[in-house]
Structure 1
Amino acid sequence: MSNAAVDELLMRLGPDKVKVGGEIPLRNWSDASGLEPASPLALVLPRTTEDVSAALAICHAHGQAVVTQGGLTGLAGGAHPGEGEVALSLERMVGVEELDRSSSTLTALAGTPLHLVQQAADDAGLMCGIDLGARGSCTIGGNVATNAGGNQVLRYGMARKNVLGLEAVLADGTVVRSLNKMMKNNAGYDWTQLFIGSEGTLGVVTRVVVALHPKPVGVQTAVLAVSSTSDAIAVLRGLERSLPAGLLVFEAMWREMYEIATTSIGVAAPIEQGHDLYLLVEAPGGAAAFEAALAGLYEDGLVLDAVIAKSQAERDGFWALRESVYEYDRHFSKGVGFDISIPLDRLSEAIDALRRDLPAAFRGVVWVAFGHIADSNIHLQIMPPDLTDFVRKAVEQLVYDHTKRLGGSVSAEHGIGRIKRSYLGMTRSAPELALMASVKRALDPKDILNPGRIL
């Protein structure tokens, strides 16, 4: 059927940049959230910021809803097309445009996959502080739009802390640009921070200036066994005090995950099963200081067992434990994933409550907990034997009720999107939600940008 906005998009940008009907690839029908695939009304494939500006100006004039797509790796449904939405994919806007060694910055187009940003930094003898499991397919623009976290937040912070400048296109096609490379730039409102984590609801990010870091030297890796969640936190604080160069990674795998990884998934077990919690720890600075720090914690009774990687192959094996969750689709029924934050002084209580309530509420459930606990973030994968819509809602309610009760957040690093929208009020107050709505109205008065996401 004819649509005035699509007709104008085709006329202005041409069939190479605007696809309709059967020309729209299936990959653009969904993201990684698991929602039912749906064909967008049209797919716009801009090559430049000017193309994005033209497309949004047309859609704004017609009141046409637009969903922005990056690497489509999001788990909250933010990039999943809604009914009657035009998909705007930045997959052609790829490339590292500048690497400034003096400023230790990198400027890239928003559609550039994260691993290419990382490789460019590495080639220059530097590193990108943003790192996550989807690095091979997620994009730097998507990382910014969702304020991505990942494995190294403890040392380098969320995406927000690694971004110095942005270029973005507003709902009406206006281009705003602050490709700042300076650490200090306190000239008025820092509008770029508003766009980081906005999930495409306030504008479309088209360029990113990333701050780079020196490469850590002499990185050591170990798997530790501890007897409780509270002991794991004590180990964290002990390592922070004793390691001269600090920590790089502090990942937790509770016993349910470790047992599945070393049985069903088949990952080699560096430490025997039976402990309550296993930690994957990495730190720069050389072997002697690392071994001394672990020995001190062992003597204090906080670490029950420890294995230090002596080769890259052993290090890869340790990481295979943490990443074993990516193999669950091959071994278990479909599950519900959670990305929550819990205050560390309530984390033991959270794990105890889940261990008590999940099996009682869902007979035969398989579930695991793991995450980056140094930054309060834990992930859950919960797999009931029969995952109906009713069961999914019941699982979500149970997890988020505990999250709210413990003063946590329903989203630590994956955003809100469409899937968590109804639970946002459990983490944010009514005045906060009203403020968000005011900002949205000011920047997108026709509500065409990712409508129904977040708010």
Structure 2
Amino acid sequence: MTTEMINARLLSALESAVGAGSLKTGADLPLAALRDWSTERGGTPLALAIPRDTKAASAVIAACHAHGVGVVPQGGMTGLAGGAVPSEGCILLSLAALDRIEEIDPVSGLMVVGAGCILQRIQEAAASVGFFFPLDLGARGSCQIGGNIATNAGGNRVIRYGMMRDLVLGLEVVLADGTVLSMMNRMPKNNAALDMKHLFIGSEGTLGVITRAVLRMHPGVAGANAALVALPGFEAAARLLQHAQKALSGRVSAFELMWNDYYASVLAETALRPPLGEEHPLYALIEMQGADPDADRSSFEAMLEGAFEAGDVIDAAVAQSQRETEAFWALRDGIAELLSRRTPTINFDVSVPLSRIGDCVEDIRSALQDAYPTLPLLFFGHAGDSNIHLVAGSIAGIDPTGHGIETIVYEIVRAYSGSVSAEHGIGLHKKPWLAYTRNGNELALLRQLKDSMDPAGILNPGKVL
């Protein structure tokens, strides 16, 4: 049977599964389905299927398995590692229509949702019943919870609430042959053998396709106390974090660092006002959320006073209102505008042990400046959870492929026993560097797991491994 005949039969089966209006081919393929927020472009897909429930998603995957054609699951397409771009000749499987909030159980503190639910909608639904869903990303208005789970998303509040993995109680997943695996656990404690949902959280769609989830909500917050502080260096930042966590009983909800290069650039290239002078080596945005921010204010300010007395804080601006808190966060979120002005750039998302972040940043900065003296660099990140972000560029006319810059950065991260991906995943973009973080035995076990669960290799082919 020719490839054309196989494809024709497959498309007929897919149309039966999802309906003619939910199968896109050729010129009808939307451009938004062909690329994510990374620079990876992938291959040319055969079609885009948009199932409206788990049964239809299962039928799509089963048909692809029977015809030996790859399936690439897609969420909100906000990924930064090329994990959802098309593989050549694949079927794109959009989860966008699985956007239902099925249940909110305030007594149990959980929510049951479809994989296509937008993160911001989940946050708002939790807030409507007095709860809080703590995962928060810049792409909150367009990213989907299935993609957040499949990439084990991190974001701004990992220091207090953990990664996406810590917010998932149960999952429903479609396996490579179309089998529906229901693991819709609703209890924080369920120690009945291996908790298999963890096989799929962070697997980037290579072991199964997430269709539904049971999410853990947290008690609601009424606001936050926040401050932007200037620091003499990273050692002071590490001491400040340790001091704040102790003084505030582990309630620090964000600890974002901005090195001087980032802080000065975001003020120079945006219309944002400077809360503090631009002469300091390092800045931290520290936040403590709570049910009664006014009652917490005295302890928050006492924490800052202690840091001043210890010499770890040089200057500080304390938010007096929600608007001022948002203005502090606008500085941290100004990276989006900087990226639009500096394209093309290479955007790094790495992690190293917290105590070594300062040295690692200086080693990376020194090595890149030696190799590329005119290369602009911006350092910032969720340093409270060991995560460093680096923007290098524009790289035009300096290192057009970016390979030389990546090699320098990832070699140093490896030397510090760090990770080439703190929260963005591997996808296509970081696949060449995975061995810098995972050793040979780990990679062999990952391949064994993939071969066992997807022997035909149809799920997100070519990604991660």
TM-score range, shorter chain: over 0.9
Matched, 1:358 2:363: no
Which residue is 1:399 aligned to? Answer: 409
Cα distance in 1 for residues equivalent to 2:342 and 2:188: 47
Cα distance in 1 for residues equivalent to 2:340 and 2:448: 45
Cα distance in 1 for residues equivalent to 2:102 and 2:138: 24
* Aligned partners of 1:130 and 1:159 also within 8 Å: yes
SS in 2 for 1:331: helix
Cα distance in 2 for residues equivalent to 1:346 and 1:62: 50
Cα distance in 2 for residues equivalent to 1:43 and 1:412: 30
Q: Which runs of 5+ in 2 are unaligned?
A: none
Which residue is 2:218 aligned to? Answer: 213
For residues 245-290 of structure 1, the C-alpha deviation after alignment (integer angstroms, 9 at most, x for no partner) is 6211100001000000111223211000111110001013521111
Which residue is 2:186 aligned to? Answer: 181
Larger deviation, residues 33-42 vs 306-315:
33-42
Alignment of 1:235-314 (within 5 A): 235-244=240-249, 246-284=251-289, 286-314=296-324
Code of the residue aligned with 1:252 in structure 2: it is L
Code of the residue aligned with 2:206 in structure 1: it is T
Cα distance in 1 for residues equivalent to 2:17 and 2:198: 32
* Aligned partners of 2:82 and 2:429 also within 8 Å: yes
Which residue is 1:322 aligned to? Answer: 332
Matched, 1:434 2:439: no
Which residue is 1:422 aligned to? Answer: 432
SS in 1 for 2:402: helix
Cα distance in 1 for residues equivalent to 2:223 and 2:87: 48
Distance 1:454 1:389, change over 3 A: farther
SS in 2 for 1:7: helix
Cα distance in 2 for residues equivalent to 1:388 and 1:97: 51
* Aligned partners of 2:18 and 2:50 also within 8 Å: no
Cα distance in 2 for residues equivalent to 1:390 and 1:90: 35
Which residue is 2:357 aligned to? Answer: 347
Cα distance in 1 for residues equivalent to 2:373 and 2:395: 8
Question: 1:243: Cα distance to partner?
Answer: 1.3
Code of the residue aligned with 2:347 in structure 1: it is G
Matched, 1:171 2:172: no
Distance 1:430 1:139, change over 3 A: same
* Aligned partners of 1:171 and 1:448 also within 8 Å: yes
Question: 1:331: Cα distance to partner?
Answer: 2.2
Question: 1:12: Cα distance to partner?
Answer: 4.1
Code of the residue aligned with 1:25 in structure 2: it is P
Larger deviation, residues 225-234 vs 350-359:
350-359
Which residue is 1:229 aligned to? Answer: 234
Cα distance in 2 for residues equivalent to 1:72 and 1:94: 15
Cα distance in 2 for residues equivalent to 1:101 and 1:310: 32
For residues 318-353 of structure 1, the C-alpha deviation after alignment (integer angstroms, 9 at most, x for no partner) is 111101110024422310001100112221111111
For residues 186-211 of structure 1, the C-alpha deviation after alignment (integer angstroms, 9 at most, x for no partner) is 11111111110000000000001110
Which residue is 1:99 aligned to? Answer: 104
Code of the residue aligned with 1:413 in structure 2: it is E
1:10 aligned to which of 15, 20, 34: 15
Code of the residue aligned with 2:405 in structure 1: it is V
Distance 1:389 1:353, change over 3 A: closer
Cα distance in 1 for residues equivalent to 2:428 and 2:380: 24
* Aligned partners of 1:372 and 1:378 also within 8 Å: yes
Cα distance in 2 for residues equivalent to 1:88 and 1:357: 42
Which residue is 1:191 aligned to? Answer: 196
* Aligned partners of 2:229 and 2:313 also within 8 Å: yes
SS in 1 for 2:33: helix
SS in 1 for 2:86: coil
Question: 1:11: Cα distance to partner?
Answer: 4.0
Alignment of 1:76-87 (within 5 A): 76-87=81-92
Which residue is 1:122 aligned to? Answer: 127
Matched, 1:66 2:76: no
Cα distance in 2 for residues equivalent to 1:144 and 1:331: 31
* Aligned partners of 1:416 and 1:424 also within 8 Å: yes
Which residue is 1:445 aligned to? Answer: 455
* Aligned partners of 2:223 and 2:322 also within 8 Å: no
For residues 54-79 of structure 1, the C-alpha deviation after alignment (integer angstroms, 9 at most, x for no partner) is 00100001110111100000001000
For residues 349-376 of structure 1, the C-alpha deviation after alignment (integer angstroms, 9 at most, x for no partner) is 1111122122221232111111111110
Alignment of 1:373-412 (within 5 A): 373-386=383-396, 391-412=401-422
* Identity across matched positions, percent: 44
Question: 1:13: Cα distance to partner?
Answer: 3.3
Question: 1:14: Cα distance to partner?
Answer: 2.9
Q: Which runs of 5+ in 1 are unaligned?
A: none
Number of residue-to-residue matches in the alignment: 455
Code of the residue aligned with 2:271 in structure 1: it is G
Let me know the Cα RMSD of the aligned residues: 1.4
Question: 1:181: Cα distance to partner?
Answer: 1.0
* Aligned partners of 1:334 and 1:387 also within 8 Å: no
1:148 aligned to which of 149, 153, 160: 153
